[in-house]
Amino acid sequence: MKALSRVYLFLIFLFLYAPIAVLIVFSFNASTTMSRSVWSGFSFRWYSILFQDQMLLDALRNTMLIAATAAIVSTVLGTAAAIGIFGMKKWTKRVVMNVTNLPMVNPDIVTGVSLMLLFTFAARILGGSLGMFSLVLAHITFCLPYVILSILPKLGQMNPNLFEAAQDLGCNPLSAFFRVVLPEIFPGIVTGMIMAFTLSIDDFVISYFTSGTTQTLPIFIYSMTRKRVSPEINALSTLLFGTIIVLLLLINLRNSKDKKPSRAPQMEV
């Protein structure tokens, strides 16, 4: 039984990691023919080409810019929203939460086309065209529910008297919020912000419909997959993957120090 379960674990993880291993291995392929399955020796050449590809670097810059903006704006807006929603009456709360859940429940493609309709409509009236601005708006929109849902449980866990205790000791409501409530829900805010950032970096479907001619990294990759993907993309994703692993290790170290494993809110959906 024990051996059987080990074999099972091994097979599933083989399935999960085989393609990633292939990607990483082929990022070091010396091949000049761009063949995706012929190994012709070890080299770093795709890594050096990567840093000279202006289109790709632009896409990377756009992606980072959008992710940072979307993460910050959705965190600020979402934190305020969570506090407001938490204080709402049961019925109002239910309505607001149902609408909030809509972008998470709806297929991405439907969210994407609905926002595309809005942006093209607005562009026709106000002038301008789809691009960085519409991308940022779209990303904030789909990040918001995740931020709100990672903060709400923290508010629920908080002793409801804390806010009152601070006022009782002489804080006005605003300073009571900053001195007592904010530190309490801070882990939720950080989780929400990290989720927003990673969701934004990874998003293809919604960006695809709201980007106009602007390229983000996933869109750039998509346009390449329709022809042939240059191994420099393998190189780039290897680098990104490495960064993510380092970040996760750091977060995990911090969490195990706190002894409070913060479950990703998506598991609670």
Partner 1 sequence: MKAKSASFPYLVWMAVFIIVPTALVVIFAFTDRSGKFTLMNLEEVGQYSNVFLRSIWLGAIATAVCLILGYPLAYLIAKTRARQQNVLILLVMLPMWMNFLLRTYAWMTLLEDSGLINRALEGLGLPAMHMINTQGAVVLGMVYNYIPYMILPLYSILTKIDGSVIEAAEDLGANARTVFFRVTMPMSMPGIISGVTMVFVPAVSTFIISKMLGGGGNLLVGDLIDMQFLGSAYNPNLGSAISLVLMVLILICMGIMNQFDENGAMEGGVMV
Partner 2 sequence: MGEPAIVSLQDIAVSFDGEIVLKDFNLSIGDGEFVTLLGPSGCGKTTTLRIIGGFVRPDSGNVFFNGKKINELPPHKREVNTIFQKYALFPHLNVYDNVAFGMRIHKKSESEVRATVHEMLGMVNLGRFEHRNVNLLSGGQQQRVAIARALANNPKVLLLDEPFGALDLKLRKDMQVELKKIQKQTGITFLFVTHDQEEALSMSDTVVVMDKGAIQQIGTPQDIYNEPKNAFVAEFIGESNILDGIMREDFLVEFAGRNFRCVDKGFTHNEPVDVVIRPEDIDIVPPDENHLTGVVTDTNFKGVYFEIIVDVQGFKWMIQTTDYEKVGAKIGLAIQPDEIHIMHKSEYSGSFGDYSSFSDEMDPDALPKEKEDV
Residues 48-77 that bind partner 1 (CB under 8 A): 77
- How far apart are alpha carbons 118 and 157 in whole angstroms? 38
* Identity of the residue, 58 or 184, whose beta carbon is nearer to partner 2 in the bound complex: 184
Is position 166 an interface residue for partner 2 (rule: CB under 8 A)? Answer: yes
Query: Taking CB under 8 A as the criterion, which residues in 120-149 touch partner 1?
Result: 121, 137-138, 140-141, 144, 148-149
Nearest residue to 158 (alpha-carbon basis) of 189, 180, 191: 180
Q: What are phi and psi of 235, to 5 degrees?
A: -60, -45
Task: Answer with the entry of partner 2, partner 1, none that 161 interacts with (C-beta below 5 to 8 A by kind).
Answer: partner 2
Number of residues that bind partner 2 (CB under 8 A): 19
Alpha-carbon distance values, 97 to 16, 144, 149, 196, 265 (Å): 34, 12, 9, 18, 15
| Of 44-52, 54-62, 187-195, 217-225: span binding partner 1 (CB under 8 A) | 217-225
Q: Which is nearer to partner 2, 52 or 172 (CB)?
A: 172
Give the whole-angstrom CA distance, residue 134 versus residue 132. 6
| Residue 176 is a binding residue for partner 2 (CB under 8 A) | yes
Instruction: Supply the DSSP symbol for 106.
Output: S
Taking the complex as a whole, the smallest distance from the CB of residue 172 to partner 2 amounts, in Å, to: 5
How far apart, in whole angstroms, are the C-alpha atoms of residue 118 and residue 112? 10
Between 56 and 189, CB nearer to partner 2: 189
In the complex, minimum distance from the CB of residue 28 to partner 1, in angstroms, rounded to a whole number: 14
